[in-house]
Amino acid sequence: MQTVEANGARIPAIGLGTMTLKGETCVEIVGAALRLGYRHLDTAQMYGNEAEVGQGLKASGLAREEVFLTTKVWHANLAPGDFERSFDESLKKLDFAFVDLLLIHWPNAAVPMADMIGALCKVAADKRARHVGVANFTVGMVEEAVRLATVPLVTNQVEVHPYIDQRRLIETCRTHGLSVTAYCPLARGGVPSDPVLQRIGAAHGKSASQVALRWLVQQGLVAIPRTANRDRLAENLAVFDFDLSAQDMADIAALRKPNGRLVSPPHAPRWDT
């Protein structure tokens, strides 16, 4: 598995996103993904499936240290005392002593940045979170977070796919040594039917989805596609045996559009323009 290195972390370039995976389906899909070769799992307190993700990892037969495990603290739990209690609950549900990466899931305008980042860095001190980072942070927020952090931040997990322009944010993260983890990398079902991606895929013997994921990893980004389909699990992982040409990359980049964002809940920050 190809990895992305960022501020001391080595993050597998393709991970399994688990949002909306519930109950026994989640346990089975996590186990199946790991048996296929996935070594990166992404969950969150808000997903309500941390226990099932932990069960799936254990059922796979892999040692805990072989899998890069990420969870996140919800935006309502970012005040210092709440943050630590939330993380304690996540570890209990996962039934593991540590996670490889702990993220602030969304910023909270009601909590000072110094308090959010201070709480994040504090839980890293005892190594129960081997690395820490953020999610859904804008350019200005990344810069402020890096300035305030007492331990290295290793990623900013944000929406990235061919239809959204995140170039400025990606460059800011790289300047500070952070990786970018792309959620919704298949644009919530928009990618598979795209004629440009289908055309490029046909030339490589790949699907449109594989082309979109390859476009991300070829830029040095991490992608965490979610699926409950076992065939799609294998398809999403099979993106390391071909290369996109410079023209392919340019054609995919040209798909970006001003209104390409898909995820913007009421608690979202004021996005970069």
Residue 182 lies in a domain: yes
- pLDDT tens digits, 165-186: 999 999 999 999 999 999 999 9
Is it the case that residue 273 has pLDDT exceeding 90? no
| Total number of domains constituting the chain | 1
Q: Is 52 inside any structural domain?
A: yes
In sequence order, what are the residues at sequence separation of 6 or more whose Cβ sits closer than 8 angstroms to the Cβ of residue 213?
14, 185, 186, 223, 225, 236, 239
Residue 37: predicted pLDDT: 97
Residue 102 falls within a domain, yes or no?
Answer: yes
Q: Is residue 265 assigned to a domain?
A: no
The reply to whether 47 belongs to the active site is yes
Rounded Cα distance, 133 and 117, in Å: 9
Question: Are the C-beta atoms of residues 227 and 236 closer than 8 Å to each other?
Answer: yes
Is position 200 within any domain?
no
Domain of 60, CATH number, reads: 3.20.20.100
**Cα 147 off chain centre by:** 22
Of the candidates 211, 225, 166, 175, the one whose C-alpha atom is nearest the C-alpha of residue 42 is 225
Does 193 reside within a domain? no
Q: Residues 7-46: pLDDT tens digits?
A: 999 999 999 999 999 999 999 999 999 999 999 999 999 9
In 115-152, the DSSP E strands lie at 132-135
Question: What is the extent of the structural domain holding 56?
Answer: 3-187+219-228
Domain membership flag for residue 205: no
Out of 38, 47, 163, 183, pick the active-site residue.
47
Strands (DSSP E) found in 55-128: 68-73, 101-104
Dihedrals φ, ψ of 13, to 5°? -70, -25
In a domain, 261, yes or no: no
- Is residue 105 part of an annotated ligand binding site? yes
